[in-house]
Structure 1
Amino acid sequence: MEVTRSTQARIKRVYNNNVVLAIEFDTIEVVLLGKGIGFQRRPGETIDTIVANQRFVADGAYRAAQVAGLLSEAPLDQIALAQTITELGHAALGLEPRQSLMIPVLDHLTFAVRRATEGIRIDFPLRWEVAQLYPSEAALGRQVVTLVSERLGVRLQDDEWVAFALHFVNQQWTKGDFSKTVVMTETIGRVFLRLAERWGQPIDENASSAARFVTHLRYVFARAAADEQLHSSHQDLLAAVRQLYPEAVDAAIDIAQLIGDAIHRVVSIDEISYLALHTGRLYAEIQER
């Protein structure tokens, strides 16, 4: 969340008693949140942003007007809970307690509560993948569902933890584009299924080598999305792994194709080389069983 600072701003729109949209420095749209901050205010008036409890600006996913609309429609207890959830993300996962996490969490929370009160159920097809691939985020997602029950008196759909967990993953790896997080999760799930098919045995997702592999895959996605793939011509590394575990190198090439197809990019030879190091460890463990 943005820290409130003392700045004169011009009110553009009053959404309700607690939310106003204003203009700073004649160009920057800001959303000011505070109990009673909009009471008897009018567009065009000057307001000191220090009176707001919190200040929000546009980011890559939400325009300022969208943020203002969301905050004005959400009850104050839900806003407070979204802030608490953001702080839990910081404490449990080291996430920065920023607007880029709090706003999408609040957005999802309001819809989840509405669905629960109206008896509407939806499918969460990535439940298994999230539980296996992101155990820390999954645990926090389950804690959030419990908090909603305790703080708001609303029993959410049991699987709702999946979506909250994905928001935590999204904040760490794809920086705002939730669809990329879903694609990443689906693809990593397919990677484990493909390895099991190739080698005739399932991968032990609880093994430390599997956890390191998942982390590495997440970094591959993050680098590829930012066009920052590894490029150092480590073909000798790939050749060395091939001498020991040719099956692992073939699997790494297959995985690179899966990832490339998912994100519409060609995975570099260096990325494949480091993937092969991980698949080599996983293959060796299977052979030792």
Structure 2
Amino acid sequence: MLSVKKVLNNNVIIAEHPDYEEVVLIGKGLGFGKQTGQEVAGEKAEKFFVLKDASEQKQFMNLLEYVDEDFIGIMNEFIEKLESRFGTNMNEHIHIGLTDHLYFAIKRIRQGQGIKNPFLQETELAYPKEYAAATELTEWLNEKLNVRIPEGEIGFITLHIHSALTNRNLAEINKHTQLVSELVTIIEDYLQIKIDRQDLNYLRLVRHLHSAIERIQTESYVENQDNLKKVLQAEYPVCYNLSWKLMKIMQQRLQMSIPDAEAVYLTLHLQRLDTPKTNT
């Protein structure tokens, strides 16, 4: 059982927890009418968002200094909908990261400033479930806040959702998304082609590149494909050489070694994009 230690506003209280000592509880209307020492339970108990980490608590306290409590309440609902949709508890940092991001994004939108997202399509292709959730819930936010959040912003929301679901650092996810976009540009320049962003092979390529980066980071390497490697070297030398060029770039950026098998699978994806004349 938790008891109120301090009410910060109608949506946020500090409570005493039997295991974590002091925690921040976030929930719409959670602090309304609450008094110090009062137990926190009842029908709202399942809607608590608990910030247990001390550094997260401090960041959230700083957030309360400039974000009004109505917006905090709406973001609580937003995150609750996300957790319900994905059937899991998300990393608690989303309460700080996404709230802070959207607060300033909506402020810029209301001031008439545009939002540019050069990696929107790569984000949608890499994280389709998160993107679908961001798109649907953005419509809910638009009605709540009486704004029109542009599509580019949906891409940024998607990255926050993916970060909270996978417990991966947002800066790292952003870096990987930019790396994939850069690799696609190198592919186009090397093969002297313009890739159709609506083509199914482009979708497969982007998802493969993201998967390859994750495998490299987690050292979840695929099995060697020596026989297939020899065939591809002979049949598709341009694509095979390009795959190695791309792997060298990934290796430099990620500061990790990459197994030969990755070149095999990447060559297969590149070959689908390439025109027949290139490898003759």
Which TM-score band (shorter chain)? 0.7 to 0.9
- Separation of aligned partners in 2, 1:65 and 1:41: 22
Amino acid at match of 1:287: P
User: Equivalent of 1:207, from 199, 204, 210?
Assistant: 199
Match of 2:265?
274
State yes or no: 1:165 paired with 2:158: yes
Give the residue type in structure 2 aligned to 1:257.
Answer: K
Residue equivalent to 1:4: none
Cα offsets for 1:1-23 (capped at 9, x unmatched) = xxxxxx23563x43223311224
Identity, in percent, stands at: 22
Alignment of 1:73-222 (within 5 A): 73-76=67-70, 79-80=73-74, 83-84=77-78, 87=81, 91=85, 95-96=86-87, 98-100=89-91, 103=95, 104-121=97-114, 123-127=116-120, 129-130=122-123, 141=134, 143-156=136-149, 159-171=152-164, 175-222=167-214
Q: 8 Å contact 1:89–1:168 — kept in the other structure?
A: no
Return the offset for 1:137.
5.5
Partners of 1:276 and 1:223 in 2: CA distance: 17
CA contact (8 A) 2:119 2:178 kept: yes
Structure 1 residue 126 displacement after superposition: 3.1
Offset at 1:184?
1.3
Distance in 2 (CA, whole Å) between partners of 1:200 and 1:48 is 64
What is the number of equivalent residue pairs in this alignment? 272
3-state DSSP of counterpart to 1:206? coil
Residue 35 of structure 2 corresponds to: 41
1:253 positional shift: 1.0
| Offset at residue 281 of structure 1 (A) | 3.0
Distance 2:111 2:90 in 1: 28
Provide the rounded CA distance (Å) in 1 between the counterparts of 2:38 and 2:84: 35
Report SS of the residue matched to 1:63: helix
Does residue 1:245 correspond to 2:261, yes or no? no
Which secondary structure state, in structure 2, belongs to the residue aligned with residue 265 of structure 1? coil
> Is the 8 Å Cα contact of residues 237 and 273 (structure 1) preserved in structure 2?
yes
Give the match's secondary structure for 1:182.
helix
The alpha-carbon deviation at position 165 of structure 1 amounts to 3.2
For 2:179 and 2:31, the matched residues in 1 are separated by 46
Structure 2, unmatched stretches of 5+, are none
What is the letter of the counterpart of residue 191 of structure 1? L
CA RMSD, Structure 1 to Structure 2 (Å): 3.6
1:140, distance to aligned residue in structure 2 (A): 5.5
Residue 143 of structure 1: CA displacement?
4.9
1: CA distance between counterparts of 2:131 and 2:19? Answer: 43
CA deviation vs aligned residue, 1:56-87 (integer Å, no higher than 9, x gap): 23469x61343455478443355335634763
Q: TM-score, normalised by structure 1?
A: 0.74
Amino acid at match of 2:70: L
2:261 is aligned with what amino acid?
A: D
Counterpart in 2 of 1:20?
Answer: 13
TM-score under structure 2 length normalisation: 0.76
Aligned counterpart, 1:66: 59
SS of 2:91's equivalent in the other structure is: helix
Quick check: 1:57 aligned with 2:51?
yes
Counterpart check, 1:287 vs 2:276: yes
CA contact (8 A) 2:163 2:173 kept: yes
Q: Distance in 1 between matches of 2:101 and 2:117?
A: 14
Q: Distance in 2 between matches of 1:36 and 1:71?
A: 15
Is the CA contact 1:238–1:273 (under 8 Å) kept in the aligned structure 2?
yes
Q: Structure 1: give runs of 5+ residues left out of the alignment.
A: 1-6
Pick closer, same or farther for the CA change 1:57–1:254 going to 2, 3 Å.
same
